[in-house]
A and B are shown apart, each in its own frame.
Chain A
Amino acid sequence: MSLLNYISMMRFEALALGVVIMLLLVKVFSEKMNASVVLGFVNLSLVALLGISFVGHPHGTAFGGMFRIDSTLMLEKQIITLALLLISLQANSWLKKHSSYLEFYVLILSVIIGMYFMISSGNFLMFYLGLEMATIPLASLAAFDFDRIKSAEGAGKMILSSAFSSAILLFGLSILYGTTGSLDFNRVAENFSLTSHLELLALAFLLAGFAFKISVVPFHLWTADTYEGSPIAVTSFLSVVSKGAALFIFMTALYQVFGAAHEKWMNALVLLSALTMTIGNLFAMRQSNIKRFLAFSSISQAGYLLIGVITGSSLGMASVFYFMIIYIFSNIGAFTVVSVVSENTGKENIDDYKGLYKTNPMLSLALMVFLFSLAGIPPTAGFFGKLFLMTSGASAGLIALLIIASLNMVISLYYYLRIVKAMFVDKNESPLEDFAKDNYSKFVLIFCVIVILTLGFCNYIFGYLQSLSFGL
Chain B
Amino acid sequence: MSEMKFILLISFALFFIGVYGFLTRRNMITMLMAVELMLNAVNINFIVFNKFLYAEKMDGLFFTIFIITIAAAEAAVAIAIIINLYRKFNSINENEIDTLKW
Binding site for B on A (CB under 8 A): 124-125, 128-129, 132, 136-137, 139-140, 143, 149-150, 152-157, 159-160, 163-164, 167-168, 170-171, 173-175, 177-178, 181-183, 224-225, 228-229, 283, 286
Contact partner of B66 among A128, A136, A157, CB < 8 A?
A: A128
Residue of B41, B63, B100 near A183 (CB, 8 A) is B63
Q: B residues within 8 Å of A by Cβ?
A: 15, 18, 22, 28, 31-32, 35, 38-39, 41-42, 45-46, 48-49, 53-54, 59-60, 62-63, 66-67, 70, 73-74, 77-78, 80-82, 84-85, 88-89, 97, 99-100, 102
Are B45 and A174 closer than 8 Å at their CB atoms?
yes
How far, in angstroms, from A181 to B85 measured CA to CA in the complex? 42
Contact A129 B59, CB 8 Å, known A140-B77, A171-B15: no
Distance in angstroms between the alpha carbons of A89 and B31 in the assembled complex: 37
Task: Pick from A139, A156, A177: contact of B46, CB below 8 A.
Answer: A177
Bound complex: CA of A367 vs CA of B73, how far in Å?
40
Contacts of A182 in B (CB 8 A): 59
Chain B residues with Cβ below 8 Å from A159 are 74, 77-78, 81
Q: How far is the CA of A157 from the CA of B15 in the complex (A)?
A: 21
The complex places the Cα of A125 from the Cα of B102 at a distance, in Å, of: 36
A155-B81, A174-B45, A228-B100 known; 10 new pairs, CB 8 Å cut-off, are: A125-B62, A136-B77, A139-B78, A140-B81, A152-B88, A153-B89, A153-B99, A155-B85, A177-B45, A283-B102
The answer to whether A150 and B99 touch across the interface, beta carbons within 8 angstroms, is yes
A-B contact pairs, 25 of them (CB 8 A): A125-B62, A125-B66, A137-B77, A149-B99, A150-B99, A152-B84, A154-B100, A156-B28, A156-B81, A156-B82, A157-B100, A159-B74, A160-B78, A163-B32, A164-B35, A167-B39, A170-B42, A170-B67, A171-B45, A177-B46, A177-B59, A181-B54, A183-B59, A225-B100, A228-B100
In the bound complex, how far is the Cα of B81 from the Cα of A276, in angstroms?
29
B88 / chain A contacts, CB cutoff of 8 Å: 149, 152-153
Taking the closest CB of chain A, its distance from the CB of B75, in whole angstroms, is 8
Interface centre among A129, A164, A175 (most CB of B within 10 A): A164
Chain A interface, DSSP helix/strand/loop, else mixed: helix
Closest A-B pairs by Cβ, 6 of them: A174-B45, A167-B38, A178-B49, A225-B100, A170-B42, A163-B35
Q: A160–B32 contact, CB under 8 A?
A: yes
Minimum CB–CB distance for B41 against chain A, Å? 7
Across the interface, B100 reaches (CB within 8 A) one of A173, A175, A177, A229, namely A229
Contact indicator A132/B70 (Cβ below 8 Å)? yes
CA–CA, A153 to B46, complex, Å?
34
The chain A residue sitting closest to B23, CB to CB, is A164
With A174-B49, A183-B63 as contacts: A143 and B32 at CB distance below 8 Å: no
Central interface residue in A149, A156, A225, by most chain B CB within 10 Å: A156
Question: Nearest-CB distance from A464 to chain B (Å)?
Answer: 37
Nearest chain A residue, comparing its CB with the CB of B78: A159
Contact A153 B100, beta carbon cutoff 8 Å: yes
> Please, how many angstroms separate the alpha-carbon atoms of A155 and B87 in the complex?
14
Quick one: which of B18, B49, B54, B97 contacts A156, CB cutoff 8 A? Answer: B97
Name the residue of chain A whose CB is nearest to the CB of B76.
A136
Complex: chain B residue closest to A226, CB-CB: B100
A132 touches B100 (CB 8 A): no
B77 touches A139 (CB 8 A): yes
Residue ID in chain A nearest B82 by CB atoms:
A156
Given contacts A129-B66, A174-B45, A178-B45, contact A136 B73 (CB under 8 A): yes
Contacting A177 at CB < 8 Å: which of B22, B63, B66? B63
CA–CA, A159 and B28, complex, Å: 11
A171 touches B81 (CB 8 A): no
CB distance A132 to B99 under 8 Å? Answer: no
Is the CB–CB distance between A171 and B100 below 8 Å?
no
Please judge, given known A-B contacts A156-B81, A156-B85, whether A132 and B42 are in contact too, CB under 8 Å. no
B18 x A167 contact (CB < 8 A): yes
